[in-house]
Amino acid sequence: MAYLMYKKYTRVAEENMNILKKDSERESAIKKEALIAAKDAVKSERERLIEETRDRRQEFARTEEKLTKRENSIEDKLQSIAEREAKIDKQKDELVEKENEIADLERKHIEELERVSGLSADEAKNLLLDKLRADLQQESNQLIRENEIRIKEDADQKAKEILTTVMQRCLIDQVVESTVSVVQLPSDEMKGRIIGREGRNIRTLETLTGVDFIIDDTPEAVVLSCFDPVRREIAKTALEKLVLDGRIHPVRIEETVERAKAEIEQKIFHEGESAAMDMGIMNLHKELIKTLGRLYYRTSYGQNVLKHSLEVGHIAGMIAAEIGADVAITKRAGLLHDIGKAVDQTQEGTHIELGVELARKYGEKEAVIHAIEAHHDDVTAKTIEAVLVKLADAISAGRPGSRRDTLEIYIKRLQKLEEIATSYEGIKQSFAVQAGREVRVIVQPEKFDDTTSAKLARDIAKRIEDELDYPGQIRVTVVREVRVTEVAK
């Protein structure tokens, strides 16, 4: 029994040992396969690293080769630059030597010239400049004389062309009404007294007033022509007083013209005062009244500016009354909206800017100032009164027959002629006469001689050619008058 048990245990042990042996062999086989796989992986990785290392070495070799070539190229360029700099330095040295040689030669030539001529360099230079000035002055005078001769030769033909062009551009009633006044004379004998000996009386009248006195075949009448109605009115008043008095000579003419100017100033104030009263404005500043009165003699596109201002005030006031706006402010702003036009010919700035400045200076309310500033949309109208003034201005200016564009362009051209003439230093007065065909420039005699007067006339004519468009020709006459007075005691 025990033996059987032993044999059974022995058989079981052998079976377990066989199982363990098989497991050990299987595990050994697995380890061997794993070892082989690991060796293969290591070998593959080693080959990859070797290949990668070889590629990098080749890339490094190529980069090193490029750098070597670049370094060699830079060295070659540096060598070339160094050689070029050396060459430039050599050329500079040669130029300095040549400059020194030229300076020595020039100095020797100057010394030789001074020795031969007996003059120093400064004396020779001044002598040459004086000679050049004299030659230039002679050539300038020759050109002026040639132009004067040419103008005189073409005068008749050009005068006919100018008259024809003017008649085509302007209406007869418009020109006569706006630029001409007629003074009736008691007899034709008075024309000779107005002209005076050798024309001295009529020249004095034209010089003092800036108005063209036309004495033609019209019986017992003298025609006064000027684009500025204030000047024309002064001349008309002065001439009527002289004809009535009978004593016509330069001294009397000067006194009469001064009195006529004073009367016109009084009339200007009266017209401004009448306009203010017509609008029902009683507390207007005196300076504003005077400035407003000057609009009586001012036209815009053929429209009398004072009458236009009254019309704007009335229209705006009536509309304000209808819609319930401030009638007093509206009428006041309407009357003053164009007051800047009274001074825009003598001061810088637009008539709106000047009007705002005048209104603010003499204490007008801000509502009135704003309406003046906004009536041409220079600023946006913020009050109903400003809108009404702008509307009334458009109605007054836009009605049929209220404005004539051609006359305004004509007057502006005459004003531009006078502005060009007076822009030069030493000008005493300038007048555009003969309907813009002539500009008379009165100079200060102590600042001009005969030569400089001729040059001034040529310069003014040149500026007129460059800056203005006009038909025909415009004559520029420079007047240089010297008066000497002594008193016998």
**pLDDT above 90 as % of the chain:** 8
Amino acid type, 53:
T
Q: Averaged over 225-234, what is the pLDDT?
A: 79
β-strand pairing of 221-225 with 180-184: antiparallel
β-strand pairing of 180-184 with 212-214: unpaired
What per-residue confidence (pLDDT) applies to 357? 92
Q: How far is it, in rounded angstroms, from Cα 461 to Cα 473?
A: 10
Please list, in sequence order, all residues whose beta carbon lies within 8 angstroms of the beta carbon of residue 415, skipping any fewer than 6 positions away.
227, 345, 432
Asked if residue 439 lies in contact with residue 418, where contact means CB atoms within 8 angstroms, the answer is yes
Asked if residue 477 lies in contact with residue 441, where contact means CB atoms within 8 angstroms, the answer is yes
What per-residue confidence (pLDDT) applies to 328? 92
Q: How far is it, in rounded angstroms, from Cα 468 to Cα 432?
A: 14
Residue of 274, 245, 268 lying closest to 257 (CA atoms): 245
Q: What is the pLDDT of residues 231-259, one digit of tens each?
A: 888 888 888 888 888 888 888 889 998 99
Q: How far is it, in rounded angstroms, from Cα 80 to Cα 86?
A: 10
Asked if residue 398 lies in contact with residue 312, where contact means CB atoms within 8 angstroms, the answer is no
Amino acid type, 477:
T
Q: Averaged over 55-67, what is the pLDDT?
A: 88
366: pLDDT strictly greater than 90: yes
140: pLDDT strictly greater than 80: no
Distance of CA 68 to the CA centre of its chain: 67
The side-by-side arrangement of strands in the sheet containing 438-443 is 427-433, 438-443, 475-479
369: pLDDT strictly greater than 90: yes
Q: Averaged over 102-131, what is the pLDDT?
A: 76
- State the virtual CA torsion across 448, 452, 453, 457 in degrees, nearest 10: -140
380: pLDDT strictly greater than 90: no
The token duo for 96 is 């300095």
Segment among 65-69, 136-140, 349-353, 380-384 with least mean pLDDT: 136-140
Residue of 459, 393, 404, 468 lying closest to 436 (CA atoms): 468
Segment among 196-210, 251-265, 424-438, 446-460 with least mean pLDDT: 424-438
Q: How far is it, in rounded angstroms, from Cα 93 to Cα 99?
A: 10
Q: What is the pLDDT of residues 159-192, one digit of tens each?
A: 444 333 333 332 323 333 455 678 888 887 888 8
Strand locations in 260-360 (E): 299-300, 303-304
